[in-house]
A and B are shown apart, each in its own frame.
Chain A
Amino acid sequence: AQSVTQLGSHVSVSEGALVLLRCNYSSSVPPYLFWYVQYPNQGLQLLLKYTSAATLVKGINGFEAEFKKSETSFHLTKPSAHMSDAAEYFCAVSDLRTGRRALTFGSGTRLQVQP
C-alpha cells in the first residue's frame, strides 16, 4: 500500500523567509502527487500537482514543488512567506498501479508565519 510521510507536524518561519515543507512517498511506481492547503475551518484547496510531466511543478500563491524519484520526495517550497500562508498543508498520493483514485494523505504540516 502506498503511504505518505510529512516530516514535521509544525513548521514556523518568519515573514519573508523560505518555506520548506517535506513530503516523502513510498511506492514502487511513481505516483501522482498533490499538495493541498487547508485554512482554518475550511475545505482543502489544491495547491499543485505532479502527474509525470515536468518534475518542477508550479502552483498557486507562489508555491512550487519538485518531484525527485531518487529520493521519493515531493517537497513544497515558497521563496518568501506571507502571513496569509499560515495554514495546514497536506501532501497526498494517488495509486496509479491500481487506478484507485482515492487519495492517501500525509498527516499534515501546520505552517506558522511569524511577523
Chain B
Amino acid sequence: DTAVSQTPKYLVTQMGNDKSIKCEQNLGHDTMYWYKQDSKKFLKIMFSYNNKELIINETVPNRFSPKSPDKAHLNLHINSLELGDSAVYFCASSLTDTYEQYFGPGTRLTVT
C-alpha cells in the first residue's frame, strides 16, 4: 500500500542515452511534482502538474519532459543524458487545498 512509488529506484546509463522515470501515487492527490536532489543534498523543484496540467516549469533544460497521463501518474523523460544530470529525482504529491507534500523513495540516476 505504498503511497508514492517510483520506478526504477536506481538507473545507471551512459551519456547521450534517453531514459524515463515513472511515478505513481495512490493517495487521491491532484497535484504532483518532480524535485531534483544534487550531490550536496540540495532539493529543487523542477515541475508540477495539477489535474494533468503543467503549472510549474522551472528553469530546466528542454531535454527534460514531464508527462502526466492521469492525476495519479507523473513521468519524467530525459533525452540526451549528460553527466550533470546525475542526481536523485524525487516525485511528490499533494492535494490542491493543502500544501503538505508526500514524497516517493527517489530514483538515483547515474550518468557515466
Contact = CB atoms under 8 A, between A and B. Distances in A.
Interface in A36-83: 36, 38, 42-46, 49, 51
A51 to B, nearest CB: 7
B103 A34 contact: no
B99 A51 contact: yes
Interface residues of B, number: 26
A44 B106 CA distance: 9
Given A43-B90, A43-B106, A44-B90, A105 B100 contact: no
B102 interface: yes
A3 to B, nearest CB: 12
A101 B102 contact: no
Nearest to B41: A108
Contacts of B77: none
Nearest to B94: A101
Interface in B56-112: 56, 58, 90, 92, 94, 96, 98-106
A97 interface: no
Contacts of B44: 105
A29 interface: no
A94 B41 contact: no
Contacts of B43: 44, 90, 103, 105, 108
Contacts of B25: none
B99 A43 contact: no
Contacts of A45: 103
Contacts of A94: 99
B90 A107 contact: no
Contacts of A36: 103
A107 B105 contact: no
Given A43-B90, A43-B106, A101-B48, A107 B100 contact: no
A49 B96 CA distance: 16
